[in-house]
Chain A
Amino acid sequence: MAGYKPVAIQTYPLLGEKITQDTLYWNNYKTPVQIKEFGAVSKVDFSSQPPYNYAVTASSRIHIYGRYSQEPIKTFSRFKDTAYCATFRQDGRLLVAGSEDGGVQLFDISGRAPLRQFEGHTKAVHTVDFTADKYHVVSGADDYTVKLWDIPNAKEILTFKEHSDYVRCGCASKLNPDLFITGSYDHTVKMFDARTNKSVLSVEHGQPVESVLLFPSGGLLVSAGGRYVKVWDMLKGGQLLVSLKNHHKTVTCLCLSSSGQRLLSGSLDRKVKVYSTTSYKVVHSFDYAASILSLALAHEDETIVVGMTNGILSVKHRKSEAKKESLPRRRRPAYRTFIKGKNYTKQRDDILINRPTKKHLELYDRDLKHFRISKALDRVLEPTCAIKTPEITVSIIKELNRRGVLANALAGRDEKEISRVLNFLIRNLSQPRFAPVLINAAEIIIDIYLPVIGQSPVVDKKFLLLQGLVEKEIDYQRELLETLGMMDMLFATMRGKEGTSVLEHTSDGFPENKKIES
């Protein structure tokens, strides 16, 4: 004695990408804003303080952009040669950058001329970063050295000469002021401690390291180089946790989402991949027009900025949810309405009568429940339903057929209504998943409306269209069968050569359409 059972809507596997929480989240961005820079964009860095400006390093200039402006709000252009790796300090007030000539320059955001210049590297400085105590700068250069600088007196404190090739990437720990890591083209990633004068940890990446990243907790280290992204467990002394090979070309940049749940990697294959940091599976991926060199995410993932080799900066802003809020909020019943009577305890003489809970039914189900079959069919033939979700329409037609009332539901329609049915048939008849149900319906329609054919030119045209469609489909099926026969012959000859092959090929019988004579 159950209630009405709603019609089972046949579900079909969705073609293309699966819709998951992640795809929804990462697709919820506006169309990208493209900004042309002077050269390849080698570095994008967001300030961690509001208003979350970002510094873009391209060629010999550093541009600072605001959140919504497409014009730079500030430019640092006093570099003789290419600038590298403009990085904000944690408080967003200072900016440090390396350059091709081996200099490291420190700028005040409000000023124009460099505050400090650290001289000492003999070759291009590709990586610079502030340490966690804000008073030191780490730099790595093509002269194989890593240097630690003191900001107040612009002096070199330490030099590490452990790398045997260009040092191209690095980052400082956000927790410990003395720890920082660098990655080099000698395939190693090394962790240095400023309290000692040598590296405390070294991991072998296997490819020239292009980018390194420390997790906020400092427990995990991510290195990118070649086609690989590798995650290392620092607390286990640099044990390899997982090695990811999801790109076709060299991975150039890494970035963490603001929640720390997702890791993003950009590559020369023009793709950005999003990984889950719990399972290290790719959950989403973006495509870009050119090879990606740099990648950064704003606070709360509000903006994705990607810099490419062709000098284009692509900026994507998250769609604001302000629209929904702007709608006048309907006044909801107060909380006490919901709990009204819920905490009443039954007294001795009371008779408890439960109100039956109402199950939500779709409109077509409501019609079917009351045996309003024509109305149910009309409802699912509405253009919104018939075009968007043809499987619902087909399921209802199937259900009507199961109830033995399909002919009744299709009969007695005027020109407009019958042409709506025919339109649906023309659109979906050739789809194999719907064909068995719709062919049956088409036969019934032809049987019903055969006597009145020729009375309406609109309907006649539709019938002719349907006939053409069926003929085309039959030709197509014949061709397919021919191909199948050819393939069978090929398989047969192959089997003869192999001798004992038990591989049975599956001929997933193509749904054979029956000719509909109209």
Chain B
Amino acid sequence: MVEEENIRVVRCGGSELNFRRAVFSADSKYIFCVSGDFVKVYSTATEECVHILHGHRNLVTGIQLNPNNHLQLYSCSLDGTIKLWDYIDGILIKTFIVGCKLHALFTVAQAEDSVFVTVNKEKPDIFQLVSVKLPKSSSQEVEAKELSIVLDYINQSPKCIAFGNEGVYVAAVRDFYLSVYFFKKKTTSRFTLSSSRNKKHAKNNFTCVACHPKEDCIASGHMDGKIRLWRNFYDEKKYTYTCLHWHHDMVMDLAFSVTGSSLLSGGRESVLVEWRDATEKNKEFLPRLGATIEHISVSPAGDLFCTSHSDNKIMIIHRNLEASAVIQGLVKDRSIFTGLMIDPRTKALVLNGKPGHLQFYSLQSDKQLYNLDIMQQEYINDYGLIQIELTKAAFGCFGNWLATVEQRQEKETELELQMKLWMYSKKTQGFILNTKIHMPHEDCITALCFCNAEKSEQPTLVTASKDGYFKVWILTDDSDIYKKAVGWTCDFVGSYHKYQATNCCFSEDGSLLAVSFEEIVTLWDSETWELKCTFCQRAGKIRHLCFGRLTCSKYLLGATENGILSCWNLLSCALEWSAKLNVRVMEPDPNSENIAAISQPSVGSDLFVFKPSEPRPLYIQKGISREEVQWGVFVPRDVPESFTSEAYQWLNRSQFYFLTKSQSLLTFSTKSPEEKLTPTSKQLLAEESLPTTPFYFILGKHRQQQDEKLNETSENELVQLPLTENIPAISELLHTPAHVLPSAVFLCSMFVNSLLLSKETKSTEEIPKDVDMEEEKESENSDEENDFTEKIQDTNNTDLGEDVIHQLSKSEEKELRKFRKIDYSWIAAL
């Protein structure tokens, strides 16, 4: 049995990738980036996450390659440690304990045994660049307390510090001055620009700095979009600078190429500019990168660049300014209007993504699957511009249809509204625009819902709007002799005393439509569009509305702005119960009768899980988050859990995710999801000779094993080692028709186990015995099958959790057991 741990709120995936500059490995095969408490290692060719380096207990703030051994990586964190990693194997080699919060990390090849970090000692806003001597010691954890201050009163951001000309000097910028510290002379020069008193130079602030790798030249970026190239800074009087100006907004980051022949810059325009030979004339552009460029880094080999963007994306760019790979995390740049949805097909989380896009984000693999371009318009990245916002979206008919609403409101009276309906195309495996409705309503659309009943013959969509109407849209045949086509048209327009329609919701079987008009809930027959019934509680505007499901389908729930949660019985048309609860989020579980409500008393948020039929909540957890929870969603589990404790049973079949105001995606779990995430792509290491595809790893490894085994057998014929073809588990797996096999997830571990060579002869002997015994028992009394399954699981420690078995149908169970029996039979032959 799964041990009953306490359920706690855990952060789940989607952490920032763009917090610090990404770092390339020496051979440009890997790219490292900080991501929350972890360091992620990605392959530059396949965009796959190869390793996640765990170990830090707080935000990782800096990473650098070890200049003395390019297969090692230093990382520093707010927990006050510097860790040294072997990134190929993902192993922690050493931990240096510094003891104070570290904000940035720098390494210099010349200073062999020390690294540079940014710390703040006394006041919160004063940062110092210090050099830390790393003691040589064989132990795992070493204290590194030997600090020496290099520069004081510097900027926190690592972009504002750069080491130049092979570590001869270090340049740091802050506000209006540039400080250069020369290591040999141990002197600091300071260059100041005219400050804000002069209006013309008001935006002269330094934003970033970079140093030429070969020459004595410092490039600095400024708030007004200028780039200054500083030379002759050895002399505080004779220094010169030249200006490069293309950016019209702040320069976000600068980087010199490895040879120093070109300078890269980027900013809010989301255009990567390459300045050749440091002249204003020779420049190349890579436009339309999608979002503000936050960081730029260059690979040590010089063949790749990479840009980190504000939409949580890392873009790998070739030397010739061609984008070659995109590593995309959960986009969190903007406010979420659409709420959290689940794509019924891919089970991906769907929400606002890039401007004008809908992102499909896989919760399992913590990876963005794809972006759907809803707006299909050129994005103009300019400050203060009123953009078209994707405000509503809904999936319908088991993922076959997607409805989206976009709006742009410049003034009170000028509203642009467009509704788009997208059809899933099996051919292209994506959504294709079917119908575009210009101004579906006169005012903002407040709610959008599809009728998701199984028996409904005609896809139906309902939109509710502030203009006091709700409209029913149906799919109609639009074909003529030239082509077959379907399109959406308005079927019915309803209103109730010109009140604003605020919510709409279909019952589970699709027979009733509930539309709330401010304080009043109306019920409509979906066949005839007749008004059946109204409920009114006089307790403020209805904020959420949902029908009960399964056995509780006779209940309708409404939460009002004044903090009243009401439950009406649809059979008696009367109020069943009401509770005083200031509900922020109310979400029904698609797999059960449960409904989750998140309330916000005064500070923090509380979660209540209840069934409409029982006024007593099933589960209460107070203080799930300190901030306001904005959206929540139940995600059906692929593999059902089996919590026996009554309080946690609501998590058995679905998992609850919620998004807070600061856009962190949280969930409930007994273990952290990162633990659960086995890096499946671990094998996808970029190897030297062969192209690395998943097929290679399935077939190539297989082949290798086979070869090895063949060799061994030829060497020593006494030891019979099984050929992979002869393993029954494999042959069974390959020859059983796919439709009777359980999901690959179940079979995988078994399949892998059968490929392993067992060394512990003892255990192998025990297991066949057990299996034999069970077989006998089974033949004796097959009625007690359920008891047996548990016993089997108790006796052999296969990776198949018993929780899996519980939820399987009997036929599947038998099938599985068959596999298990076969699985070990080859061991008996030893």
Contacts and interface: CB of A to CB of B under 8 A. Distances in A.
A1 B384 CA distance: 23
B288 A1 contact: yes
B333 to A, nearest CB: 16
Contact of B481 (A281, A399, A509): A281
A279 B479 CA distance: 12
B306 to A, nearest CB: 13
B378 A4 contact: yes
Interface string B356-388: 000000000000000001001110101011101
A259 to B, nearest CB: 15
B290 A1 contact: yes
A280 B469 CA distance: 41
Given A403-B380, A404-B382, A1 B289 contact: yes
Interface in A349-404: 368, 399, 401-404
Contacts of A7: 377-378
A436 B482 CA distance: 35
Contacts, number: 60
Contacts of A3: 288
Interface in A391-435: 399, 401-404
Contacts of B413: 514
A404 B385 contact: yes
Interface string A1-39: 111111110100000000011000000000000000000
B382 A278 contact: no
A140 B447 CA distance: 71
A2 B531 contact: no
B178 interface: no
A1 B326 contact: yes
Interface in A271-323: 276, 278-279, 281, 283
A20 B482 CA distance: 8
Contacts of A276: 481
Q: Give the interface residue-count category, chain A.
A: 20 to 34
Given A1-B288, A8-B377, A506 B481 contact: no
Nearest to B443: A509
Contacts of B530: 502
A10 B439 CA distance: 12
B442 interface: yes
B122 interface: no
B187 to A, nearest CB: 45
A502 B380 contact: no
B408 interface: yes
Interface string B416-435: 10000000000000000000
Contacts of A436: 414, 416
Interface string A250-280: 0000000000000000000000000010110
Contacts of A509: 442, 467
A4 B416 CA distance: 23
Nearest to A369: B378
Contacts of A243: none
A403 B481 contact: no
A440 interface: yes
Interface residues of B, number: 35
Interface string B483-495: 0000000001111
A7 B378 CA distance: 7
Given A3-B288, A509-B442, A402 B376 contact: no
B684 interface: no
Given A1-B288, A440-B414, A502-B529, A279 B481 contact: yes
A403 B288 contact: no
Contact of B315 (A1, A21, A402): A1
B480 interface: yes
Interface string A469-483: 000000000000000
Contacts of B376: 5, 8
A4 B323 CA distance: 15
A517 interface: no
A403 B408 CA distance: 12
A504 interface: yes
Nearest to B290: A1
Contacts of B416: 436
B236 to A, nearest CB: 42
B185 interface: no
B759 interface: no
B430 to A, nearest CB: 15
A402 B416 CA distance: 11
Between B376, B377, B378, B530, the greatest number of chain A beta carbons within 10 A of the residue's beta carbon is seen for B378
A236 to B, nearest CB: 23
Interface in B463-485: 467, 469, 480-482
Contacts of B382: 403-404
Interface string A497-518: 0000010101001000010000
Contacts of B494: 504
A514 B411 CA distance: 13
Contacts of A279: 481
27 contacts: A1-B315, A1-B323, A1-B326, A3-B288, A4-B378, A5-B376, A5-B377, A5-B378, A6-B378, A7-B377, A7-B378, A8-B376, A8-B377, A20-B480, A276-B481, A278-B481, A281-B480, A399-B377, A402-B385, A403-B380, A404-B380, A404-B382, A404-B384, A404-B385, A440-B414, A502-B530, A509-B442
Given A1-B326, A7-B377, 17 more contacts: A1-B288, A1-B323, A5-B377, A6-B378, A7-B378, A8-B376, A10-B438, A278-B481, A281-B480, A368-B378, A399-B377, A402-B388, A404-B384, A404-B385, A436-B414, A509-B467, A514-B413
- Closest 5 pairs (CB-CB, A-B): A279-B481, A5-B378, A506-B493, A1-B323, A404-B385
